Structure 1
Amino acid sequence: MNWRPRLVALDIDGTLTAVGSNDISPAVKAAITRATEHGAVVVLCTGRSLVGIGAVAPQLPASYALCSNGAVWWDPALDEVTKRVTFDPGPTVKTLQALLPGAVFAVEQTGVGNLSLGEFLPGDLWGVTTRVTFEEMAAVPTSRLVMRWLDHTPAELAFAVRELELPGIEWSVDHTEAWLTAVPPDVSKGSALDELVAQLGIEASDALAIGDGSNDVEMLKWAGLGVAMGQAPAHVQAVADEVAPTVLEDGAAQVLNRFFPG
């Protein structure tokens, strides 16, 4: 196979790290470093906020970071946010409150932390968290809204929202926690990458993307080669071109090593 990706798009949680961890294995770090040495552009594509990548990004030679599922772009070389799109979280919060009693909500304050309505579990949110009222939350446009349905399972959440319509946003549910993420309309990892490669003069057909979650589906479908991690849910694996070993087996490194050998 002579094809070699010019751009490598990498999810973080469940792809480079175990979910909720900031630890990247030496094998994965080495594989990503080799990709850049071969000239590939490495892009971190994550549902995490900008504050949330603070402990991960410095470990890697990434050229760009698309945070909050593509709503916030960060340039590591400039240490600058280069793009940020927002939406009004009020209507979404109101709809979800009615459907999911006991849910707690947080809206991203880019580069700072979150405004929260209700109390999340320890370690759920990055940065400074400020408790607010619904009215205070609804008054602040945000790039990312997250919701945890306390005392419920991911399967219960998936069932509860199976027919849910949330106009004016893009949203996805997590497969490891009862957690929902919402971002502005027409924003996804795939759409953000499509815009980025147009600026870089790279084709989607020259991109490799690796991910494991529902929020990776558009990215995996967009890339010339979309690879799902071995522990990804069936619906994510179904849209991928191939399936890698799991994150615990350094699956991302095994994929990268095929194209960027040592």
Structure 2
Amino acid sequence: MNYKLIALDVDGTLLNDDHVLSSGTAEVIKMIADQGTEFVLCTGRAPVNSIPYMKQIGLEGYVITHNGAATVNVTTEEIVHEFALNPFGLDPYMDYCRKNNIHFDVNTTFAIYVEGVAGLSQEALDMYHKFMMEPEDLPGWADFSEPIVKFTVTGSMEQMDKVYSDWSQWEQEFNMLRSGDFFIDLMHKDSSKGSALQKLAAVRGIPAEQVMAIGNYYNDLTMLTFAGLGVAMDNSPLEVKAAADNVTASNNEEGVKLALQKYCLS
């Protein structure tokens, strides 16, 4: 199959556990792109910390960010599509977080906001800086000039298990995603990597059977099942592997490179 659009998750997929993109993987991606295939990073990250990887490889095109909530042009940083959520619906979730001492942040496409930036722990600041993010003080809803696309909570795996269990019992107006062992995201009900990838493929005139997707976590399920070929990393949970068409090596073993060589160069 000649795949015309390839969607790659970033953390746990494209990058190894040290958040490094291997030179071998970058070379194979560029080789395939030079043959006319489009690549799109499809990630829970924001544009500011995903576009640099596209530029590092030498790619133009698009990034699907915030787990599908915002699609952005790499070159112009123009927002192609956003799934804006209702911020007032977040109030009970924020109250829960304050009561249970759970860290949360609020995201527009290009900015991230937290309560009391000045009082953030060094650990929290280090986490944001590791992902190339600089948080700003959270204003009131009426003071936002850009749509809110994602609400994220973070903590230990045990804390996130408890939060997910509690919130699963609520009547949901949002799409609630376990986007990592230590993260839970709330987004617009229609927002997902799969729906954003489907919209991008339609705009580019590419049928699903000519789309390939590679990912490693629950937030990748919708894009893995939409794509004509969905490939899970070996470091994926069993449910993700079961939903994929094939499984490649782990992110620490250049699984993306191996999958691309197998399905796009052989």
Q: Deviations over 1:49-103 (max 9, x none)?
A: 1122143221121421111111111112333222223112343352364277111
Unaligned runs of 5+ in 2: none
What is the alpha-carbon distance in structure 1 between the residues aligned to residue 175 and residue 33 of structure 2?
A: 32
Residue 245 of structure 1 corresponds to 249
Give the corresponding residue for 1:56. Answer: 53
SS of structure 2 residue aligned to 1:198: helix
Moved more, 118-127 or 233-242: 118-127
Alignment equivalent of 2:43, drawn from 28, 43, 46 = 46
Q: In structure 2, what is the Cα distance between the partners aligned to 1:160 and 1:79?
A: 34
Q: Which residue number in structure 1 is paired with residue 101 of structure 2?
A: 102
Q: 2 CA distance for matches of 1:174 and 1:70?
A: 12
2:85 to 68, 84, 87: 87
User: Partners of 2:142 and 2:171 in 1: how far apart?
Assistant: 16
Cα distance in 2 for partners of 1:207, 1:242 equals 14
1:144 to 146, 150, 153: 150
Q: Distance in 2 between matches of 1:139 and 1:67?
A: 23
Q: Letter of the aligned partner of 1:15 in structure 2? A: T
Partner of 1:187: 191
Asked if the contact 1:34–1:260 (Cα under 8 Å) also holds between the matched residues in 2, the reply is no
Structure 1 stretches of 5 or more lacking a match?
Answer: none
1:130 counterpart (113, 130, 136):
136
> Deviations along 1:173-221, whole A, 9 cap, x unmatched?
13432x1112212111100111111111111111110001111010001
CA contact (8 A) 2:160 2:181 kept: no
Amino acid at match of 1:181: D
Contact 1:47 1:69 in 2 (8 A): yes
Out of 28, 33, 38, which is 2:30 matched to? 33
What code does the residue aligned with 2:24 have?
A
Q: Identity percentage over the alignment? A: 26
With over 3 angstroms needed to count, the CA separation of the structure-2 counterparts of 1:97 and 1:213, relative to structure 1, is farther
Cα distance, 1:97–1:59 mapped onto 2, change above 3 Å: same
CA RMSD, Structure 1 to Structure 2 (Å): 2.3
Q: Aligned runs of 1:179-258 on 2, under 5 Å?
A: 179-258=183-262
- Asked if the contact 1:108/1:114 (under 8 Å) is kept, the reply is yes
| In structure 1, distance between residues paired with 2:159 and 2:220 | 21
Between the aligned partners of 2:63 and 2:149, the Cα distance in structure 1 is 15
Shift of 1:138: 7.9
- AA matched with 2:199: E
Count the aligned residue pairs. Answer: 252
- Contact kept in structure 2, 1:44 and 1:62, CA below 8 Å: no
The yes-or-no answer on 1:171 pairing with 2:176 is: yes
Quote how far apart the aligned CAs of 1:30 are. Answer: 1.0
1:226, CA displacement in angstroms? 0.4
SS in 2 for 1:237: helix
Displacement of 1:110 after TM fit?
2.7
Q: Secondary structure at the match of 1:143?
A: strand
Shift in Å, 1:124: 2.9
Deviation string 1:116-140 (CA, Å, 9 cap, x unpaired) is 036472333343312336xx25864
Q: Secondary structure at the match of 1:255?
A: helix
